[in-house]
Structure 1
Amino acid sequence: MASVNIKLHDTNSFREVHIRAEPTLDELLKPGFDTFFMVRVQDMFRTMKLPIPPSRSTNHSLIYLTEGEAIMTIGGETYTIHAHECLVVAAGQIFSFRHPDVNRGYLCTFHSDFVAEKWGQNELLQEFEFLNVWGHPRIPLGKKASALVEPLFQRILELYAAEGIRNPALIQAYMVALLGEIKRAYQPTAGSTPSQAVRLANRFRELLFAHVRTHHRVTDYASWLSITPNHLNKAVKTATGKSASQWIDEALVLEAKVLLHQSTLAISDVAAGIGLLDPSYFSRLFKKHTGTTPLEFRKMIEKS
C-alpha cells in the first residue's frame, strides 16, 4: 500500500477546514496570517467549527487566558488551563479540542521563521524548550509573571490589528520579549541541570516524532543514539515515567487516531498507514490504549 500522509495544516488550510467564513474573519486575520497572527481567544472561538478533531499545524500556537477555562488534548494528554496560565502547542504536534469554553485571553500562532531570525530554527528550539514536541505544554504564570506577559500580548495584538505584519520588526521584537518572559515562568522537563537520562529521553522523543510510522522497535532508536536498548528503556523510564516501548505504542495509537478522523480508509489500511501490517495486532494495540477498537472509535467519531 502507498504511504498514507496525515494532513499537516498550514494556517490557510486549517482556516478552510475548521473556521467558518464570516464577515468579521478578515478583520481578525490580516494578510500574512499563515506566518503570524494574534487574536482574542473569544473572537476566534466564535468562528470555529467545533469540535476540532486530531490535527497538526506547521505553526506554533500560544493560548493565554485572562479569564475562564480552556481544555485541549495535546499529544496523548489532556490539559486544562485557567486565568494567568499559558498553553503551548508546538509545531507539528497533534492536538484536538471539543469544548466551546467561555473564556477570555489571547491566541497567537507563528511559524518558527517569523521569530527565528535571531537564533535560526535549531537555536530557537534550544532556547525555548516549550516549543519542542517534548516540552511541557501547560505553563502556569501566576499573577506576577502575568503582569509582565499580559501587556506584551496586548501590545502585539494592537500592532497586528492595526497593520498585520506589513512592518514585522516591532512585532518580532515584542515576540522575543514575550517568549523570554514565558521562559522565565516555564519549568523545564529536567529542572535547571538536565541529567544524561533526560537528554537521552528528549532526543529519543525527537526521533520518535520524526520516525514513528516507519520505525517501531526500541533497537532502532537505541542504535541511532549509540546505546543499548536496555539503556534507552531505563533512561526514558527514569526521565518520563514510561519506557521507550510504551512511548512508541502510544505514539502509534495517536497517529492512528488522526488517520481515523481524517480519512475513510479501511481499518487494515489505517494499520498499514502507520506501518503495522497485521490488522489484528493493530486492533489489539489500539484497544489496549484507548479501551475501544478502531472500528468502535470511528463510529464514535461519526456520531459526534
Structure 2
Amino acid sequence: MEQGGAHPSAHLEPAERIRTYPFDRSGSVSGVGMQIGPMGADSAWPGGLGLSRRLHRIDFHVLLFFREGPVHHMVDFMDYEAGAGDVLWIRPGQVHGFSTTDPYVGTALTMQPGFLPRATVEATGLYRYDRPPLLHPDAAQLTALQASLEQLEREYCDTETLPQSLHTAVLRHSLTAFMLRVAHVSAQAAADACEPPPDTTFTRFRTAVEQGFTTNHSVSAYAEQLGYSRRTLVRSVRAATGQTPKAFIDRRVILEAKRLLAHTELPVGRIGVAIGFTDSANFSKFFQLHTGMTPMAFRAEQI
C-alpha cells in the first residue's frame, strides 16, 4: 500500500530524534576539518568517537583502519566483521554501533563534510551510499594505504613548519591522495559485487527516493516527477539493483523505521506517521511483512 506523509524530523520533538553526533572541530589540530589518531580504550578517539553501546548517527565521515581483528560493527542494521588490514567507511547520516566486547585497535580518521573540494568529493564517491562500508584491501593496496595514512598523520601533527593556511592546504592535498586510494578499493569492491555501470535514470531515482521517501512511496509518482515512464524506471532500477522500484522504496522506508524504533522511544504510531503511514495498523502490517516481526518485537530485540 502506497502512503503519503511528512519527513520524520517534522514529527519528532528535538529530544526524541535519533541522536546525531556532530563533528567537533575543537579537538582538531589547528581547528581543521579532520582528525586522525589511534582508536582504543586508553585515549580519546578522533572526532569524539567512542565505544557507545547505544546506536547513533554521525554527521561526518569515519574511516576505521584495523590492525587487529575480528571486530564486529553494525552499520545501518547490517553486521560487519572486520579483520586486520580491513577498512570500515561510515558515511554521514548512517546509524552505527560499536561492539562492546571486541577491542578496536588501529587508526581512526574523521572528516567533516566540506573539508575537501567538490572535485575530490566527486572523484572519491564520498556520498556513494550504495558502496559497501567494509573494504578488504589486497596486500599491495594495504601497503600503499598504510604509507599514505602515515604520511597524512605526520602532516596532521606537524604544526611547526608551515603557517596555518599552508598547513591546512597540505592536509587537504594529503587527504585527497589518501581518499583516492580508499575510493579505488571501494570501487573495486563494488565491481566485485557485480555493481552495474552508473545509470543516470537509476541515480536520479535513488536521489529522489532519499529526498522524498517519507512523503512518496509511489513508483508512478517518482516516474512522473523524474519525467520517465513507469516501464523505463522499472527497467533501470532492476538493471542496477535487481529489485523493482517499489522494493527499493520499501527497503529505504524499512531502514528508517528500524532507526527510529531502535533509537527513540516514540510510540509505534508516531513512527509510522513520521515515515508516511497515517494508520498505525497499516504501518505495523507493512513492517511485519518486510521483517518478519512486529515493530515492538524489533524494538525489544535492540534493548
The answer, yes or no, to whether TM exceeds 0.5 is yes
| 1:119-158 deviation per Cα after TM superposition (whole angstroms, max 9, x unaligned) | x2xx444212253222232322111011111122223234
The correspondence for 1:51, drawn from 37, 42, 53, is 53
Distance 1:201 1:282, change over 3 A: same
1:56–1:93 contact (8 Å) kept in structure 2: yes
1:11–1:33 contact (8 Å) kept in structure 2: no
Q: Could you tell me how far apart the structure 1 residues matched to 2:142 and 2:228 are?
A: 43
Q: TM-score, normalised by structure 1?
A: 0.79
Partner amino acid, structure 1, of 2:21: H
Q: What's the CA shift for 1:240? A: 1.3
Distance 1:49 1:64, change over 3 A: closer
Matches within 5 A, 1:158-169: 158-161=154-157, 163=159, 167-169=167-169
Q: What's the CA shift for 1:81? A: 2.5
Q: Could you tell me how far apart the structure 1 residues matched to 2:257 and 2:30 are?
A: 32
Partner amino acid, structure 2, of 1:36: M
Gaps of 5+ in 1: 16-25
Matches within 5 A, 1:14-53: 29-30=27-28, 35-42=33-40, 43=43, 48-53=50-55
Matching of residue 101 in structure 1 with residue 105 in structure 2:
no
- Indicate the residue corresponding to 2:239 in structure 1: 238
- Indicate the residue corresponding to 1:255 in structure 2: 256
Distance 1:88 1:72, change over 3 A: same
Partner amino acid, structure 1, of 2:53: P
Q: TM-score, normalised by structure 2?
A: 0.79
- Indicate the residue corresponding to 1:18 in structure 2: none
| 1:101-121 deviation per Cα after TM superposition (whole angstroms, max 9, x unaligned) | 2242221111231112xxx2x
Q: Could you tell me how far apart the structure 2 residues matched to 1:56 and 1:162 are?
A: 31
Q: Could you tell me how far apart the structure 2 residues matched to 1:194 and 1:299 are?
A: 38
- Indicate the residue corresponding to 1:298 in structure 2: 299
Q: Which has the higher contact order (CA 8 A, sep 6+)?
A: 2
Distance 1:227 1:44, change over 3 A: farther
Q: What's the CA shift for 1:11? A: 2.5
Matches within 5 A, 1:45-194: 48-53=50-55, 55-75=56-76, 77-116=78-117, 120=118, 123-129=119-125, 131-161=127-157, 163=159, 167-187=167-187, 189=190
Root-mean-square deviation (CA, aligned residues, Å) is 3.2
The correspondence for 1:3, drawn from 11, 19, 33, is 11
Q: Could you tell me how far apart the structure 1 residues matched to 2:233 and 2:44 are?
A: 43
The answer to which of 254-263 and 96-105 deviates more is: 96-105
1:85–1:141 contact (8 Å) kept in structure 2: yes
- SS of 1:300's equivalent in the other structure is helix
Q: Could you tell me how far apart the structure 1 residues matched to 2:134 and 2:140 are?
A: 17
Partner amino acid, structure 2, of 1:105: G
Q: What's the CA shift for 1:190? A: 6.0
Matching of residue 283 in structure 1 with residue 281 in structure 2:
no
2:62–2:111 contact (8 Å) kept in structure 1: yes
Distance 1:51 1:6, change over 3 A: closer
Q: What's the CA shift for 1:177? A: 0.8
Aligned pairs, number: 281
Q: Could you tell me how far apart the structure 2 residues matched to 1:161 and 1:213 are?
A: 44
- SS of 1:37's equivalent in the other structure is strand
Distance 1:47 1:127, change over 3 A: closer
| 1:243-292 deviation per Cα after TM superposition (whole angstroms, max 9, x unaligned) | 22112112112112222233222111111111211211211222233332
